[in-house]
Structure 1
């Protein structure tokens, strides 16, 4: 399931939990607990997906920097990344 689908499903569950809590008057009803557990599973799935996306973006950035490093002098890369390089002779 994609991020937008997970978020949409979580919003549906949130509305359902709200309605059920108003109707039943208790949060410990087995039906409410079951819906809440489903929401918990989706939240964990969403967090894992977002972490994977974040890790992928970090990896892409590292590859881009590596490619720049191969084609530019250290001074130029340092200026782009606001890094100070000291050359040892």
Structure 2
């Protein structure tokens, strides 16, 4: 999923949250079936966003490992290390 799609999901979630507040004020009953349905939809979006963020984090981690592996394979005379998210290359 792209950043744009993630942004669209976040906007949809924000709209649902506003709708829930309005419905709660109007209906005054949080167990009303309409409120429950909107709340469940918001829950599904939250879970979807959490999965996407987890996948993105795993992808970034794999990309960093691949980049370091590629550097060490192509530059055997250099020492490659990673500290606090920064790639350091030390020439021997």
**In structure 1, which of residues 2, 5, 9 is the aligned counterpart of residue 8 of structure 2?**
5
- TM-score, normalisation: structure 1: 0.81
Larger Rg: 1
Q: Distance in 1 between matches of 2:77 and 2:19?
A: 57
Runs of 4 or more consecutive aligned structure 1 residues displaced over 4 Å after TM superposition: none
Q: Which runs of 5 or more structure 1 residues have no equivalent in the other structure?
A: 83-89
- TM-score, normalisation: structure 2: 0.79
Pairwise CA RMSD: 1.7
Higher helix proportion: 1
The higher relative CO (CA closer than 8 Å, separation ≥ 6) is in 1
Higher strand proportion: 2
